[in-house]
Amino acid sequence: MTEMAILYDTSLCTNCKGCQVACKVWNNLPSPTGLNENKFSGSLQNPPDLNGNTRLIQTFKERDAVRGQKPVDWIFNRRSCQHCTESPCATVCPAGCITRDEETGFVHTDDSKCIGCHYCEGVCPFDVPRYRTEGVRDYVNKCTGCPDRVAQGMDPACVSTCQPNALRFGPRDEMIELAHERLEILKARGYGDAEIYGENEMGGLHVISVLKYGREATGLPANPSAPATVGMTQIMKPITGVVTGLTVVGLGMMFALGTGYKRDKLVYNTATEDTVSVITGDVVQHGDPQDTKSVKEHIFENRPLGLVGLDEDGNIKFGKESKEEGGSNE
């Protein structure tokens, strides 16, 4: 499969929020408004920002018109994951939860692998990743580009519901070509600040935006970049892996030694001053006085079934134990 991309044309968008609803429906995400978390705030932008239950929102800004043909400018934008080629979230993820599909270019998540570290939140230049909480567990929740739909030849859910064709989906090079065509039209209409966003930013985004009023008015970062700490992560990951591996091996060896020691019953031979294994009969250590008990006495303490005690000459005596205290049956 070739590299894919979503094309978003703000000049065609009506801010109907159909894409926002489609995203929730397809991904089975609850609505915060149903929980009274986001009441009407006087703006068409609702909820006011991304959250653990909302992967996509349509932003809305209103300003005095700069061209004089109408009293106000309505500035729309699509706020969601931009699916960077140089994706810092995937770079810093220690659990392999966030990965970039090298074929399509989209950045996916695997909820089952998320450890709730929140590292991705701190490195995203677009402030996109949010976390859902279920019980005692936090896990990242962001746009994945609907890989299940794309694998079946379908468009992402948001694109499929867009009536004015402000959203399109296809090979990235074709979407960039369409974006340039739309930009020429906007420039010809007098929108001097219009520009394309995503063609080169962060190594190339997989959401290509045609911004009618430019990136500054839209609120997108002028020159998005990853924090310097992301580079350190690349260095530290293999080191951390080696240290963790050695730690696990060390703990395993300690457990094995501890288990072995508990299994190995040792006795002391007063005649030779040797420490002897009852199980194997091997001398474990020479000339290390530990106590005054004889080997036979230690064997009797750890006697197996059938060993009764010692006879008058100090020899090991076998037989059945007597029910009477101190007695025995031969």
Residue 282: CB atoms within 10 Å: 10
pLDDT of residue 322: 47
For the chain, give every domain's residue range: 4-227, 264-329
Residue 291 has pLDDT above 90, yes or no: no
Instruction: Please state which of the ranges 31-45, 62-76, 221-235 shows the lowest mean pLDDT.
Output: 31-45
DSSP state of 155: P
H/E element holding 120? Answer: helix 119-123
Average pLDDT, the chain: 83
**Residues written for the chain:** 330
DSSP assignment of 220-265, as one string?
A: --SS----THHHHHHHHHHHHHHHHHHHHHHHHHHHHHHHHHHH--
- Categorize the per-residue pLDDT at 66 as very low, low, confident or very high, splitting at 50, 70 and 90: confident
pLDDT of residue 325: 44
Instruction: Please state which of the ranges 100-104, 124-128, 134-138 shows the lowest mean pLDDT.
Output: 134-138
pLDDT, mean of residues 206-218:
96
CATH architecture of 4-227: 2-Layer Sandwich (3.30)
H/E element holding 298? Answer: helix 295-301
Residue 199 has pLDDT above 80, yes or no: yes
Instruction: Please state which of the ranges 53-62, 202-211, 308-317 shows the lowest mean pLDDT.
Output: 308-317
Query: 178: exposed, middle or buried (C-beta count within 10 Å: 0-12, 13-18, 19+)?
Result: middle
DSSP state of 280: T
Question: Contact, 24 vs 40, CB < 8 A?
Answer: no
Q: What is the pLDDT of residues 308-329, one digit of tens each?
A: 556 666 665 655 554 444 444 4
90 phi, psi to nearest 5 deg: -70, -30
Residue 36 has pLDDT above 50, yes or no: no
Residue at 51: amino acid letter:
N
| Beta strands 4-9 and 167-171, pairing class | antiparallel
Instruction: Please state which of the ranges 101-105, 182-186, 257-261, 324-328 shows the lowest mean pLDDT.
Output: 324-328
pLDDT, mean of residues 59-78:
87
pLDDT, mean of residues 220-239:
77
What spatial distance separates the first Cα and last Cα of the chain, rounded to whole Å? 84
Tell me the CA distances in angstroms from 176 to 40, 100, 169, 198, 325, one per residue in order. 36, 20, 11, 9, 95
Tell me the CA distances in angstroms from 126 to 44, 66, 121, one per residue in order. 21, 27, 9
DSSP state of 113: G
- Categorize the per-residue pLDDT at 257 as very low, low, confident or very high, splitting at 50, 70 and 90: low
Question: Contact, 221 vs 205, CB < 8 A?
Answer: no
User: Which residues make beta-bridge pairs with 268?
Assistant: 275
* Closest to 8 (Cα-Cα) out of 293, 206, 286, 299: 206
β strands within the chain, DSSP E: 4-9, 57-64, 72-79, 98-100, 107-109, 130-134, 137-141, 167-171, 195-197, 207-211, 266-269, 274-277, 283-285, 307-310, 316-318, 320-321, 328-329
Q: Is the pTM of this model over 0.75?
A: no
Distance from C-alpha of 321 to C-alpha of 56, rounded to nearest angstrom: 79
Question: Contact, 223 vs 198, CB < 8 A?
Answer: no
- Categorize the per-residue pLDDT at 15 as very low, low, confident or very high, splitting at 50, 70 and 90: very high
pLDDT, mean of residues 4-24:
96
pLDDT of residue 47: 85
Higher pLDDT, 203 or 314: 203
